[in-house]
Structure formats: structure tokens, C-alpha cells
Structure 1
Amino acid sequence: MTALPLDAAGEISPDPSPRPGRRLPEALRRPGALLATGWLLFVVVASLTAPLWRPYGVAEQDLASRLALPSADHWLGTDPLGRDLLSRIFTAGTEPLLSSAVTVLVAFGIGLPLALIAAERGPRVERVISRVTEVFLALFSTILLLAVIGVIGVRTFIIMAILGVLISAAVYRVMLGVAQSVRTRLYVDAARVNGLGSLRVNVVHVLPSMATVIAVQAAQLYGIGLLIVAGLAFLGFGPAEPDPSWGFMIQDASSYVFTAPWLMVPTGLVLALTVIAANELADALAGKASGETAPG
């Protein structure tokens, strides 16, 4: 889990102007970005409001309709116990969507301030912070997370927060280079000469100029978080039945891949589209057209 593709910063130069807000709306007007944003909003809203609109309870069984294909009664079909897939998929979406956001917030909440401090304070402070973050990069995240699960049990939000702490080292390394580049801009030097304090320089000038890179990295990391949550549930480290989870539903469907192949489609498609949407949004923010390969 430590080999994260947090490399988009190498393809994106920090915004040369202190008003980068114009770039994000332009990027989001692309067809791929519009579809990605629309899908993410739909999944988030549908998942968070699922208890208000779902047609069936997540544990409600219809044994006469086991492994049913989509129909008027069950729009996405049913699982091996006759439970409605539509109700279970969007009810299950709340946990991965929110816990992935926790990972992003923790990772950037630690990595970004450290990068700003290191870029401002100079080589001596940078060396100290970099050596500490290298310790986190050297840790075997998968083994550590499994050890944490063994100690505290399956508490997804805590586990993903710990993952955010581990990933913050990778975020720091990416953000450090961007922050150092931004601090060489003339308008940053002018602000310092005019007497602006460290906090105001970072908030008013440095962070806005890093906005695009931050957004790209956050979108990529969010997609990775979704896959990690689903992967843990697939391995059995997710909500206990009858509470649904995307990973367990995919694992359950894999047992019926030959006898009832449709069972894999709804959950797998929702997870895949959500991850793809997050990555498409990252590509759009990075200024790349959909399907365009990254420069070498």
C-alpha cells in the first residue's frame, strides 16, 4: 500500500499566478470531468440518503427471488439470500466514501503543513522532517494495518485514519517540491518584503498557487482509498453481516461467477465507476484530456 501513484505533481507546474481559482472551473468543464463529477455526486448523495429512499431493508430477504436478475421489483436483482442489491449497494457506499475522505484529510492535514514548514524554514529543518517521513515510507503499511486490525478490530474509520498518517509521508514529498517551487515566485518574495507574516504568505499566496496540484493528488488518493476499503472488506475486514459492504458483496458474488454472473456486475460496476470517476477528475484537474498518456 505504500507504492501510491502520487506522481502527478511531476507533470503539473504550480500556478504562476496567485489566483489559480480560474483553472479548476475550466478543467471541470471537460465532458469527462463533468461526467466524473456528476457520478461522484450521485453516488455520494444516493449513499448518504439511502435510508430515506431504499425500497427494501438491507437484511430483508425474499427467498423466492434468490439470485434474481433485474426486474420491476428489484431493479438490480437480488443476492443469494434474496436481498435487494440496489438497497444494499448504496447503503454500503457510505462507509468507503466517508472513510476514504478521512484518509485524504489526515494525509493532507499532516503532509501539507509539514511541506510548507520545510519549504519555508530551509535545508536544516527540511532534512529533519524528511528523515522522519522516510521512516513512515519504510514501514510495511499492509502488515501494520493488519496488526492494527488485530488489536482494535474492524474499525474502518480508525484504520483509514492510520493509513492517512502513513501516506502523509508520500504527500509531504510531493508537496515539498511544489511548495519550494512556489516560494521562488516573485510575488511571494514581494509579499515577504511587504511584511506579511509566515502564515499569511502561506494562506494568501503559497497554498492558492498549489491548489491544482493538491486537488489532483487528493482525487487520486481518494480513489486509492476506495479500493483499499473494498479490498479490506473483500478479505473479511469489513462490516459484519447483515451490514453490507462493497468488498464483501464482490467476494460473495465471486462464488457465483459461473452460476449467476450478473451478481458481480452491479457492485463491481459501481465501485469501478467511482474509482474511475475519481481518477478522471484528477486527470482533468491535471490538464490532461481523457485517455491522454502522461508525458515521459
Structure 2
Amino acid sequence: MTAEMTPGRVVDPPAVPADPGRWARAIRTLLRRPSSLVALSFVLLLVVLAALAPWISPQDPNEQNLSAAFAPYSAEHLLGGDELGRDVASRLLHAIRLALLAPLISVGVALVLGVPSGLWAGLRRGVADTVLSRIADTLLSLPGMAFALAIVAVVGPGLVNVMVALGVVFTPSLFRVVRSAAMSVAEEPYIDSARAIGSSTNRILWVHILPNVAAPLLVQATILMGLALLAEAGLSFLGLGVQPPDSSWGSMLRTAYDNQFRAPLAVLPPGIAVVLTVLAFNTLGDTIRDVMSARWRR
């Protein structure tokens, strides 16, 4: 491998020595799998429903009508009414926005904290790696949900606070994935070539190493999206997440649980929505892992 040197300018060697078309082939393979295609279509459907919720909702999700409390399934209330007579179908549609926003916030926080620290520890080694790894091990040794509850107890309930707390909980796992991948990539010859021609550490991290750890990072982030949704639903079920009058699938499950003898079917709409969405994210993560592993081995 050769590299050109020009006055006042550093020309790096190719950052990715593998076939540049591997991502396109991996996407095509991903779309050919029925399970991943169904999962991806379901997630895209949720995005469309979340965007169109104000226009396609049968009723105002917060409009109360006590005469329709625990109303059965009907043409007026497609999925029935809750304890205050609010339309369950409308609340379910509007809750999709929070169901998608919550994982984005938590995984985004984990990416911001975990990726730079993992790249730095994997490349630099030494004291930085030791300190960051011990911090990650300490956080991983704590029960995740209990740690999130402790953070929420300090900063207070609310969607953003809960998701930031979950992001801190997810950070050690992303750190370990990125660190491990970065340590492997750092041993490649083109990294030595980049160092030899004078590339800075930051340039090596973001231009050479990050593109090569994107595959395991994408897999982990996709799986964490499902875990974040499940955790948000659990915390909202406990009353620590989304606060009234906003609706979330977790708070709807809590309402259904409190009134299970008066409306036994009320648990089905939010429960099925949570199960299918988490299953879709996990299916995408597992399929991306299988596809990327096969392509990288080739």
C-alpha cells in the first residue's frame, strides 16, 4: 500500500480496504429475507402512522366523554374507550410518536457517550483504556432498570429524563462493542500506513476506524432500540415515563391493568403494539448481524 505526500497536505491511504460495494449487497440481501422485509415494512408503517396521526385519528386522543367509559369495540370507537371515555384507537396512534421518539433519544445518548470513548480506548489503549473499561464494567455490574430508576429519582419523571437515564444505562454495552471492534481494526496495516504519513489520531478514529466498526455498531443500536421501547413502556407503566394527558403504550397498559375486570380486552391494543414493535427491531438487528457477518467473512 502506498500513499502520496504533497506539501502541506496529507493524503491518506484507503480507509476501507474491503470491497466498497459490500454495503449495497448487504442491503439487497437484507431486503430479500422475508422476516427482515416484514420487520422493516412494519417499522416504516409506524413512521407513516406517527406522521399522519393528527389527520387519521378517529377522535381527539385527550377528549373525555364519561358516557363512553369502557365503551366496547364499535364503529365509533374502533378499539373501545378507556376509563375516561377517551378513544383508545386515537390514543394508540398518537402514542406511536413517543414509541419511536423514546428509543431514538436513549440510543442517541448512548451513541454520543459510547462511540467516542470506545474508539479512543480501542485505539489508544494504555491508561485511557483501563480507566474507561473499569467505568464500563462498574456500570454493567449494576442492574440496568434499578440504575435507571435511581437516575429518574434524582432528575424527576418525564419522557426525556427517562430516556436519558436509559441512554446512560446502554452506554457501557455500546462502549464494549465499539472498543472491541476498534482494537481489531487498529491492528490492520492501513492504520499503520495512516500513522506513518502523519495522520492525526482524530483523523484515524473518524476516517479509518469508525467506518469499519459501523456494522457491529448498527446491529447493537438496532437491538437497543427494541430494549429502549420495552424499558420506556415499563417505566411509563410505573408512572415514571410519559405524564398525563399524553399517551404512551406503557401508560395505556397501566390503565388496562387497573381496570382489567371492567374491560378485560383493553390490554390487547397497547400490548400487541409493544410486542410487535420490539419483535420488529430485534428481527432487524438479528438479520443485520447475520448478513454483515456473512459479508465480512467473504
Change (3 A) 1:216 1:159: same
Match of 1:44 in 2: 47
Paired with 2:88 and 2:77, the residues of 1 have a C-alpha distance of 7
Match of 2:223 in 1: 220
Deviation at 1:137, TM superposition (A): 2.5
SS at match of 1:72: coil
Q: Report the AA paired with residue 18 of structure 2.
A: S
Q: Any idea what the Cα deviations from partners look like across 1:29-53, whole Å, max 9, x if unmatched?
A: 1222121112112213322442233
Question: Is residue 27–residue 287 contact of structure 1 (8 Å, CA) maintained in 2?
Answer: no
Match of 2:158 in 1: 155
Q: Any idea what the Cα deviations from partners look like across 1:199-219, whole Å, max 9, x if unmatched?
A: 333333322221221111001
Paired with 2:242 and 2:175, the residues of 1 have a C-alpha distance of 32
Match of 1:176 in 2: 179
Unaligned runs of 5+ in 2: 1-15, 292-298
Paired with 2:111 and 2:119, the residues of 1 have a C-alpha distance of 11
Question: Is residue 230–residue 247 contact of structure 1 (8 Å, CA) maintained in 2?
Answer: yes
The answer to whether structure 1 residue 79 and structure 2 residue 51 are counterparts is no
The answer to whether structure 1 residue 211 and structure 2 residue 224 are counterparts is no
Task: State how many pairs are aligned.
Answer: 275
Change (3 A) 1:202 1:22: farther
Question: Is residue 18–residue 209 contact of structure 1 (8 Å, CA) maintained in 2?
Answer: no
Paired with 1:91 and 1:117, the residues of 2 have a C-alpha distance of 40
Match of 1:22 in 2: 24
After superposition, the CA RMSD in angstroms is 2.5
Paired with 1:45 and 1:243, the residues of 2 have a C-alpha distance of 20
- Of 96, 101, 104, which aligns to 1:98? 101
Change (3 A) 1:188 1:27: farther
- Of 108, 112, 116, which aligns to 2:119? 116
Paired with 1:167 and 1:94, the residues of 2 have a C-alpha distance of 21
Structure with larger RCO (C-alpha < 8 A, sep 6+) = 1
Fraction of identical pairs, as percent: 37
Paired with 2:151 and 2:212, the residues of 1 have a C-alpha distance of 37
Deviation at 1:266, TM superposition (A): 1.2
Change (3 A) 1:74 1:16: farther
Higher alpha-carbon Rg: 2
Moved more, 87-96 or 23-32: 23-32
